[in-house]
Amino acid sequence: MFRKGYVGAGVRDIVAEAPAPQGSFTNHFRSKEEFAREVLDRYFDDLKSVVTGALEDSSRTPRQRLKRYLDIITERLAKAEFSRGCLIGDFSLEAAPQSEMLRARLANIFIEWRAPFAACIAQGQATGEIASAFAPEELAEFLLSSWEGAILRMKVERNAEPLERFKRIVFATVFKEPSI
């Protein structure tokens, strides 16, 4: 599904890649849609561990934690030679219009994904490290949505520049270091 997308990856492609008999697929999943949900959930479970590791690192300031998360994801995308993006973003573009079940799951994922970012931002706002002009939830939404857009551009350009540009701009403006 990373290579061909939700629509492009047929059940035959999936079982051939496994390799598994098609009957095994239908014994475990009623449809490709259910399989895609399982793939999405497993992907999100892995992503949550990255989020936790980066955003709950008390040895760093909240601002440093946010940057660390983006750097970890940049490193992961570089290992794939910038040809793969974020499955959550990919499914949001491709599967959400095709499947109400996947659209609803993606909506819940974004809510759950936003929460630790909002908590980290709130900590930064409490210490004065991050400006309080916007609510932490709004800044978290902005960060994730904008980052997903940078990942889409990265897939087109096949290099890190859209990601690095995003980081430079967001940390020079939205998450600007306080003036001394």
Could you report the per-residue pLDDT of 141-176, keeping only the tens digit for each? Answer: 999 999 999 999 999 999 999 999 999 999 999 998
Per the model's pLDDT, the better-predicted residue between 50 and 22 turns out to be 50
| Domain-located, residue 47 | yes
Q: Which domain holds residue 129?
A: 32-172
Residue 180 domain-assigned (yes or no): no
In this predicted structure, what is the pLDDT of residue 4? 77
- The answer as to whether 104 is a domain residue is yes
What pLDDT does residue 20 have? Answer: 73
Structural domain includes residue 55: yes
> Between the CA atoms of 74, 78, 81 and 82, what dihedral angle is there, to the nearest 10 degrees?
10
The model scores a pTM over 0.75: yes
Burial label for 156, CB within 10 Å (0-12, 13-18, 19+), is exposed
**Between helices 87-94 and 100-127, what is the axis angle to 10°?**
130
d(CA 83, CA 34): 25
Q: What is the predicted pLDDT for the residue at 14? A: 77
Looking at the domain assignment, is residue 2 inside a domain?
no
**Cβ neighbours of residue 134 closer than 8 Å, sequence gap 6 or more:** 142
Predicted pLDDT of residue 179: 63
pLDDT for residue 12: 78
Residue 27 or 139, more confident: 139
Does residue 180 register a pLDDT over 60? no
Residue 62 lies in a domain: yes
For the segment 47-104, what is each residue's pLDDT rounded down to a tens digit? 999 999 999 999 999 999 999 999 999 999 999 999 999 999 999 999 999 999 999 9
For residue 66, give the CATH number of its domain: 1.10.357.10
Whether residue 22 is contained in a domain is answered as: no
pLDDT of residue 178: 66
* Domains held by the chain: number: 1
State the number of CA atoms in the 13 A half-sphere of 21 facing the CB.
Answer: 3
Q: What is the mean pLDDT of residues 97-125?
A: 97
